[in-house]
Amino acid sequence: METGLIALIAIILLIVLVVAAGYVKAPPDRAYIISGLRKNPRILVGRAGVKIPFFERVDKLYLGQMTVDIKTEQSVPTNDFINVNVDAVAKVRIGTDASSIQLAAKNFLNKNPDQITQDLQDSLQGNMREIIGTLSLKTINTDRDSFSDQVMEKASKDMNKLGIEILSCNIQNVTDENGLINDLGMDNTAKIKKDAAIAKAQADRDVAIAQAEADKAANDARVTAQTEIAEKNNALAIKQAELKQQADTANAVADAAYSIQQQEQQKSIETATVNAQIAKAEREAELKQKEVIVKQQELAAQIEKQADAEKYQAEKKAEAELVQRQKKAEAAKYEQEREADARKAQAEAQKFAAEQEAAGIKAKYDAEAAGIAAKGKAEAEAIKAKGLAEAEAMEKKAEAYRKYNGAAMAEMMIKVMPEIAAEIAKPLAAIDKINIYESGDGSEGGAAKISGNMPVVLKQVFDTMSEATGVDLAEIMKANTYDAKVNKNVNINGADVAVVTKNEDK
């Protein structure tokens, strides 16, 4: 069973391989001819088939349309012994029936279209030469359709033997060696011109006859029309004369009536004109009176308006001057108040500065006195510690101090006087400018008084120190007990001095 199944499968595979190897499919424009095992070959056109490998073969035959160029390579004499050259084109193909394909297969099998048309060209040219010999030159030129049909009919007998079908044949060009075709054209042209001239002359004659008949008819119609017009014009003139007579009579009556009516209207117009002039004069007089009244009123109004304007202007000017004076008074008062406040502030500042300076001087003196006392105490203790060797010297020094107590105090105070003077002069360093005003009474000038202010300041210092220590420095200096003596007594009578500091107004 298995062996049989394998054999069956092998047979099936073999059949499939054979079919696959021998499968062919023909396109619509080609015929596939399968031959080998059969007496009559199989023909496939646009369908598929199977050939048996190694036993059958497939040949191809082109069935599409082909164009064959037919030319007479040499001049061919016509029936009237005129040598011509003809150029034509034929459309051919192999017949689609089995007999035509079998006939074509014997001659054109496996050939391409160019090879087939090359084989057919000689046969078609021979057939066209035969037909040219049976026709006249005039027939070939004037009846080319008949010429091409005869060529097709003649060539079809030979083409059918080859399995070829002629689809069409067109004559492209016909020429001759002696130019007779052109002469025939000239003859035909002259004949055509002649016929055209005759036809034109006949047409002109017919037109002239028709024009004359038309002119006669038109003239008859014009005479008839003019006669009727004259008759109508005559009747119209008679009618117009009658109407004019009637119109003149009516116009005369109307003119008389119009003249009477015009006179009456003229009288009425003149009466109305006089009345109108009288009324106009009255209206003008009344208008002038009204104009005088209006002008008087305008003048009075203008005078009153001008008076009111001047009064208003004067009032406004007085009010403006009053407001200006009030503003000036308020500004002056404000400036005076500011100046008084500034002077008061300046006086208070000066007073405060003087108080601060005095307090500073006193504090400094107290500090120096305390320092001197502390220093004396320290020195006394140090001397006492040195021993008896220095006791005598210390006793003498203490005796000298007790003897010259006021002088010693003065000496110490004199040593610190430069510092005190410098501290007192600090406020004077802030003064930017001093203005001196002379009294004019013949006394000593202000500049001299300023130069004498320094002794006054020193005297005030001496007085302050004398009050603080109880030592009269003036008496000591008069006694010539110190080297730094003052030989000049300064008598201060006072001076008018105005001090101007920085950033202040004069």
pLDDT digits (tens, 9 = 90+) for 472-505: 666 665 554 444 444 434 333 333 333 333 343 3
pLDDT at 387: 56
Task: Tell me what the pLDDT averaged over the chain comes to.
Answer: 76
Query: What parts of the chain have a pLDDT lower than 50?
Result: 480-506
Alpha-carbon span 235 to 241, nearest angstrom: 10
Q: Is 134 left (phi over 0), alpha (psi -120 to 50) or beta?
A: alpha
Which residues, at least 6 apart from 504, have a Cβ–Cβ distance to it below 8 Å?
Answer: 346, 432
Alpha-carbon span 152 to 166, nearest angstrom: 7
Alpha-carbon span 99 to 33, nearest angstrom: 13
pLDDT at 93: 92
For the whole model, what pTM was predicted? Answer: 0.35
Alpha-carbon span 164 to 155, nearest angstrom: 10
Do residues 181 and 175 lie in contact, with contact meaning Cβ atoms separated by under 8 Å?
yes
Alpha-carbon span 4 to 18, nearest angstrom: 21
Q: Strand pairing partners for 62?
A: 30
pLDDT at 67: 92
Which residues, at least 6 apart from 347, have a Cβ–Cβ distance to it below 8 Å?
Answer: none
Do residues 42 and 49 lie in contact, with contact meaning Cβ atoms separated by under 8 Å?
yes
Q: Strand pairing partners for 23?
A: 50
pLDDT at 62: 92
CA 366 to chain centre: 91
Do residues 120 and 164 lie in contact, with contact meaning Cβ atoms separated by under 8 Å?
yes
